Amino acid sequence: MNRSDKIKFEFQDYLDSNFNPSVYLITKHIGITNSYVNEWLKGKRHMGDNALDKIEKFLDERMVK
């Protein structure tokens, strides 16, 4: 599993575990275009390292430790 797939799985798990919060609000908060993330989630687009870093940081901040 590559980095993009791993982060996509973790992000989808976060959405499912938190009653499907608005992806739009999450993307606005982290500074990524909503359509970019939605296309990535559907497998229609590859995401670059900078965007993956932002999503990974968002997930890390919300992980229960």
pLDDT digits (tens, 9 = 90+) for 19-61: 999 999 999 999 999 999 999 999 999 999 999 999 999 999 9
> Is the distance from CB of 47 to CB of 36 less than 8 angstroms?
yes
> Is the distance from CB of 17 to CB of 65 less than 8 angstroms?
no
* Domains held by the chain: number: 1
Give residue 55's domain range. 3-62
Task: Report the C-alpha gap between 6 and 28 in whole angstroms.
Answer: 22
Q: What is the CATH number of the domain that holds 47?
A: 1.10.260
Threshold 0.85, pTM exceeds: yes
Q: Which regions of 5-50 does DSSP assign to beta strands (E)?
A: none
